[in-house]
Chain A
Amino acid sequence: MAQKNLKKEKSKVVTAGGDKETYVLRLFITGMLPNSVRAVKNIKAICEQHLKGRYQLEIIDIYQQPSLTITENIIAVPVLIKKYPLPEERVIGDLSDTKLVLKELHLD
């Protein structure tokens, strides 16, 4: 079940317009490892709750696309990278600390 979701998520980029800026987020995960599954669940919840209609979320499995680890300089996973609005920022971990994630996304 979870795997299905993930695969869907990978191909689907949620785009939506709005008055405020659109957030471009990238979440790098490692397959179905527990941290990754939790991170996907957590970021989706946060986006739906706080950024409804104005976010792009791309979930990337680095097992599938290992070369991205170099271009994006990834060491610790899961890692959420906020590409836009600038500056680019990153949060590592399963994103269970919602407060901190919101702070980093300037949504608090």
Chain B
Amino acid sequence: MTQEKKKQIKSDNFKFPKAVTGIKGLDDITDGGIPKNRTTMLLGGAGCGKTIFAMEFLVNGITDFNEPGVFLSFEEKTSELVTNSKSLDYNLDKLTRQNKLYLENLQIDRYAILKAGTYDLEGLFIRLEQAINKVKAKRVVLDSLDALFFGLDSFILRSEFKRLLSWLKEKQVTAIVTAEIGDGQFTRHGLEEHVADCVMILSNRVTNQIATRRIRIVKYRGSIHGNNEYPFVIDENGIAVFPLVSEAVQQKSGSIRISSGNKDLDEMLGKKGFYAGSSILISGTAGTGKTSIAASFAYSVCSNKKRCLFCAFEEAPNQVIRNINSIGFHLAPLVKSGLLSFYYSRPTLQNLELHFIAIKKIINEFKPSVVILDPITNLMTEGPNSDIRSMLTRFVDFLKTQDITVFFTAAITVGSIERNPSDEGISSMVDTWMMVQDIEVDAERTRSLCVMKSRGMVHSNQVKRFMISNKGIALGSIAENNNSSSAVVKRSLKEHANLSTSKESIGLKETIR
């Protein structure tokens, strides 16, 4: 086949028919939803969120796409389903009254069924047909297959399941069938996944005592799809899947500058301060004044009548306010005026995704121009590093698309700077990176500050002396304060002395000659 012909065939632009699930992120990784008028298997262990996933698919179909739905439950009673879904803000009663949703519970009394000879599941088909006709359903959920399989012969059920899938296709409905995940094979009975057109697996794994839900598309006939495992969360707003691609990398890169809250620091940063909408990291060991710098930045932002969200993962907001008061920044009035808002949470309370979800939610309501995370390293303990990196990248991308300046602080341990200066790898993804350190000058601990990198501006390479007093923070030269005794002066004097002695010795040699 010639290249041209190939191109022609490709450019026919066939679009695989898909049913948009309306689940945040899932439509991205499936490239537009699950196969339309076909059946998708949703597999997972207990407590993975299969029922909620399926329910959200139905409810979204009704509310967003005007596609009525049928939910056949083999496990939960309809009243239980209605009650359980209330916690997700779904009013199933209302949808049922509007004849948009049909819930039915098929009780399979496991022990009261005796089998005397061959049978089929025509009863199920008839019930399903009635249900579909009743609401003119376009979407169907069967939850779950295992309850059905448990009481009945798997041999008969397999052939009946195949028949059900082709029957559903004929009925032109998009279906989700849930099933428990088995050992080795995907499903307990080991056949269903071969028959279905699309198979997704949900899991809920615990790493470092923190549970993370994940979704993976195992199979999708006739369509490209993301292959990875993607984290997802279930909160009061329903389900949200987080593919890396979903936060579009369409970042605005403006040239507006925002003051760091300190004149001297602005001076070091190309005389103007940070870029608005950039990401800033300040790292340093304990007690070097990271929070003070963050607070000074927050204070300056709020003083310019802009909103700032301070996410504290170490100290409670009241404690931050009290401590920052002692260096001359009064944050309490700013909180009162609504310019400053705090988010406080123990890192171990929930996994990283949920933290970010919570913060995102506040951001959407509060619309800050600056977000401060203090310290980001406390979140780092919760989960494997690679997870955190991708999570943080996504979060930073999200903030950038919103044109929000983000300011992280990172606590690093003594000595780790030499071994691994790119603490946890986050310094490579930020735009501006500053380091605060304790250095020893004449048997005295001195705070120092330097700018390690700052993209898109000429920044100072100097290590500055960094002072915290009750009047705020100030930067100065390390040499100027202690004049003759300072390390720099001493070194230069020594150098000078060395030079002069060598000159003298040369001179001496010359005279000897």
Q: Which residues of A does B touch, CB under 8 Å?
A: 28, 30, 33, 35, 38-39, 42, 62-63, 66-67, 69-70, 73-79, 89-98, 100-101, 104
Contact = CB atoms under 8 A, between A and B. Distances in A.
B116 A97 contact: yes
Contacts of B107: 73
Per CB-CB distance, the 8 closest pairs between chain A and chain B, nearest first, are A93-B117, A94-B117, A96-B117, A74-B123, A97-B116, A30-B122, A100-B116, A93-B116
B130 A78 contact: no
A97 B116 CA distance: 5
A93 B114 CA distance: 8
A97 B119 contact: no
A69 B106 CA distance: 10
A70 B119 CA distance: 18
Interface string B107-128: 1100011111111111110110
Contacts of B115: 91-93, 97, 100
Contacts of A94: 116-119
B374 interface: no
Contacts of A75: 106, 108, 121, 123-124, 127, 148
B27 interface: no
B126 A76 contact: no
B82 interface: no
Nearest to B123: A74
B155 to A, nearest CB: 13
Q: How large is the interface on B (under 10, 10 to 19, 20 to 34, 35 or more residues)?
A: 20 to 34
Nearest to A62: B126
Interface string B55-90: 000000000000000000000000000000000000
Contacts of B104: 70
Given A28-B123, A66-B129, A74-B123, A91 B114 contact: yes
Contacts of A95: 116-117
Find the residue from B113, B120, B123, B124 having the highest chain A CB count within 10 A.
B123
Find the residue from A33, A38, A76, A98 having the highest chain B CB count within 10 A.
A76
B434 interface: no
A33 B163 CA distance: 15
B152 interface: yes
A88 to B, nearest CB: 9
Contacts of B122: 30, 33, 62, 77
A38 B126 contact: no
B353 to A, nearest CB: 39
Contacts of A104: 114, 116
A77 B130 CA distance: 17
A93 B118 CA distance: 5
A93 to B, nearest CB: 3
Contacts of B124: 75-76
Contacts of A100: 114-116
A92 B121 contact: no
A107 to B, nearest CB: 13
Given A75-B106, A90-B113, A100-B114, A69 B123 contact: yes
A101 B116 contact: yes
Contacts of B129: 66
Contacts of B108: 75
Given A35-B119, A74-B127, 15 more contacts: A30-B126, A38-B117, A66-B127, A69-B126, A69-B130, A73-B107, A75-B123, A76-B121, A76-B124, A78-B119, A90-B113, A91-B113, A92-B119, A100-B116, A104-B114
Interface in B368-413: none
Contact of A77 (B106, B114, B120): B120
Interface string B145-163: 0001000100000000000
